[in-house]
Amino acid sequence: MSDTTQILLLFASWILISLGCHTFIKHYFMASFVAATAGVAGVLYSGYLELGYLDPYWHISSITGFFMAGIVALVVGLPFRITRTIK
């Protein structure tokens, strides 16, 4: 699988997880936190399934992935926050 395809799949999974979290969790920052945590857990688990063992640098990828997935979750949650604020 090419690098571009892997990055697109990563962003697609983060977006889908964020949409699900913001749909069911009403608090904006809590939903973003849960989405970022679930995104990191999903990436770590898929890496474990692919490699057969936990990545030796899992702690570094967890921290950087949490911040990147958190930014995606915050951006995806903006329309939810705006509509809930108006209502």
Determine, yes or no, domain membership for 56.
yes
* Alpha-carbon separation of residue 82 from 41, 77, 87 (angstroms): 28, 9, 9
Reported as a single tens digit per residue, the pLDDT across 67-80 is: 999 999 999 999 99
Q: How large is the average pLDDT for residues 38-42?
A: 95
By residue range, what is the domain housing residue 39?
A: 26-86
Determine, yes or no, domain membership for 20.
no
Q: Are 58 and 76 in contact (CB under 8 A)?
A: no
Structural domains counted in the chain: 1
- The pTM assigned to this predicted structure is 0.90
Determine, yes or no, domain membership for 78.
yes
